[in-house]
Amino acid sequence: MKGTVLIVDDNREILSALEKVVKKEFEKVLTLTNPNRIPEALTRNNIDIVMLDMNYRSGNHNGNEGLFWMQEIFRHERNISVVIVTDSSDIGLAVRAIREGAVDYILKPWDDIKLLATLNVAMQLRNSRLEANLLKQDNIKLKKEINRGGEKIVLGASPTMINVMNIVRKVASTDANVLITGENGTGKELVAREIHNLSKRSGELMVTVDMGSITESLFESELFGHVKGAFTDAREERKGKFEAADKSTLFLDEIGNLSLSSQAKLLSVLQNRYVVRVGSNKQIPVDIRLICATNRDLLQMVRDGEFREDLVYRINTILIEVPPLRDRVDDIPILANYFLRINSDRYGKEGMRFNTHALEKLANHDWPGNVRELQHAVEKAVILSDSDVLKPSDFLFTSSGRSSSSVEMTLDEMEKKMILESLKKYPNNLSMVAVKLGITRQTLYNKMRKYRI
């Protein structure tokens, strides 16, 4: 059998006899009379099995020296199989050694056939451990590749996005809870994924939950799991999202859509750091890093009695606001060229480019759908264009831009009118005005300055 066995015993006669037997089955056998040389032997050789005597002349013959050296072996490499060699008077000591990690024990005097059978089992266990370790490493690599896959976050050149990414880098190395706010389509999930990928949990998959798609009746089952028979359709036991995200990152998108009763249940788990599956009383500890996102003003929801204030403070250790695309005009050409490169490769139209007027048109559009709308607009243009150069005519928009044409001025007037009406309806409450208009407070301020309101 391929493999290396190290035998450690201060009795040279026993050492010689064991060596002769073990050589019948194993490729390489090393022997030591002094256990102090074990670390050197482990460093110089790829040891698979250590046959370890429990008592030495330098010790008190209570087995403590053998237990000490067994733990030293495990500190060097946990996957090594240790087989204890002792006499019948030390059975209790051998059992203790097994509890602390030894594979088995061999009694002096030994039976050659039983000894080799024990070593064969120890070698099989060693191989199984090594294989499991390789699979674990492959799994970690695969998870990292999956985390790196999909859409990438594009930094851009605008000061607002540079500031966002500076916060991301600072907070990623911690386990602080993060709340990401911003309009739909601004890339909140991409920011969350970037935090995860830069964190110490990046070796695990980030678990994403769209809170807007989970009904209140299924909230507990989806997030906390259930046992078989907990309800009508519970035909088997199932982990919830919290358990699935153990040792990783849990991303709760659209957290503002949670009902008050669901908010209370979520808060309880975040405070206690354990879940109880539906239909069970067992507390299951969870170790997660929480990131939440919303396009709503949670503080205004607190004032309106729609969101728990204590939950806001629990999830909002660090706040990151992702600006809308219309407030980061400098990033539009960068993002557009990125999406062009991705989609021209995807659809076999390499070498496509924008002409100057096309980029000007993109820069002058308001992008109510934000980055997601720009991504889809570029993809559609790549698919439909018969030319290598994308022109303004390849982009048709139904919403306003920022130029001075009569149609766009009319839309500007409509937007101004909507803002004025909302200000009249909610006087001295700019947060509520922003919520009702579906924009952020900063965007509202910018538009008020634009229209001199």
Contact 49, 5 (CB under 8 A): yes
Specify the DSSP class assigned to residue 48: -
What is the pLDDT, as a whole number, of residue 160?
Answer: 87
Q: Write the class of the CATH domain 325-394.
A: mainly alpha
Q: What digits encode the pLDDT tens for the residues 208-260? A: 999 988 888 889 999 999 888 878 777 788 889 999 999 999 999 999 999 99
Q: Where in the chain is the domain with CATH 3.40.50.2300?
A: 4-131
What is the pLDDT, as a whole number, of residue 250?
Answer: 96
What is the pLDDT, as a whole number, of residue 410?
Answer: 54
Highest mean pLDDT among 56-70, 90-104, 234-248, 286-300: 286-300
Q: Where in the chain is the domain with CATH 1.10.10?
A: 406-450
What band does 405 get if pLDDT is binned at 50, 70 and 90? very low
Q: What digits encode the pLDDT tens for the residues 411-423? A: 667 778 888 888 8
What band does 428 get if pLDDT is binned at 50, 70 and 90? confident
What band does 388 get if pLDDT is binned at 50, 70 and 90? very high
What is the pLDDT, as a whole number, of residue 64?
Answer: 81
CATH number of 406-450: 1.10.10
Q: What percent of the chain has pLDDT above 90?
A: 60
Contact 103, 85 (CB under 8 A): no
What is the rounded average pLDDT of the residues 191-209? Answer: 92
CA atoms within 13 A on the CB side of 172: 18
Q: Where in the chain is the domain with CATH 3.40.50.300?
A: 159-321
What is the pLDDT, as a whole number, of residue 417?
Answer: 82
What band does 190 get if pLDDT is binned at 50, 70 and 90? very high
The DSSP string of 131-186 is HHHHHHHHHHHHHHHHHHSS------S-HHHHHHHHHHHHHHTS---EEEE--TTS
Q: What percent of the chain has pLDDT above 70?
A: 91
What is the rounded average pLDDT of the residues 99-126? Answer: 92
Average pLDDT score, the chain: 87
What is the rounded average pLDDT of the residues 344-368? Answer: 92
Judged against a pLDDT cut of 80, whether residue 363 lies above it is answered with yes
Contact 53, 65 (CB under 8 A): no
What is the pLDDT, as a whole number, of residue 117?
Answer: 93
Q: Where in the chain is the domain with CATH 1.10.8.60?
A: 325-394
Residue 35 to residue 42: CA distance in whole angstroms: 11
Residue 75 to residue 81: CA distance in whole angstroms: 13
Position with higher pLDDT, 12 vs 449: 12
Q: Write the class of the CATH domain 4-131.
A: alpha beta
CA atoms within 13 A on the CB side of 291: 28
Q: In the CATH hierarchy, which fold is given to the domain comprising 159-321?
A: Rossmann fold (3.40.50)
Residue 129 to residue 81: CA distance in whole angstroms: 9
Of 60, 61, 15, 62, nearest to 34 (Cα)?
15
Judged against a pLDDT cut of 50, whether residue 406 lies above it is answered with no
Region of poorest pLDDT, from 44-48, 50-54, 401-405, 435-439: 401-405
Q: What digits encode the pLDDT tens for the residues 263-294? A: 999 999 999 999 999 999 899 999 999 999 99
CA-CA-CA-CA torsion sign (134, 139, 141, 142): positive
Tokens 């046992």 locate to 227
Contact 105, 97 (CB under 8 A): yes
What is the pLDDT, as a whole number, of residue 321?
Answer: 95
What is the pLDDT, as a whole number, of residue 362?
Answer: 94
Position with higher pLDDT, 232 vs 35: 35
What is the rounded average pLDDT of the residues 325-351? Answer: 92
Q: How far is CA 93 from CA 54, 63, 99, in A?
A: 8, 7, 10
What is the pLDDT, as a whole number, of residue 158?
Answer: 85
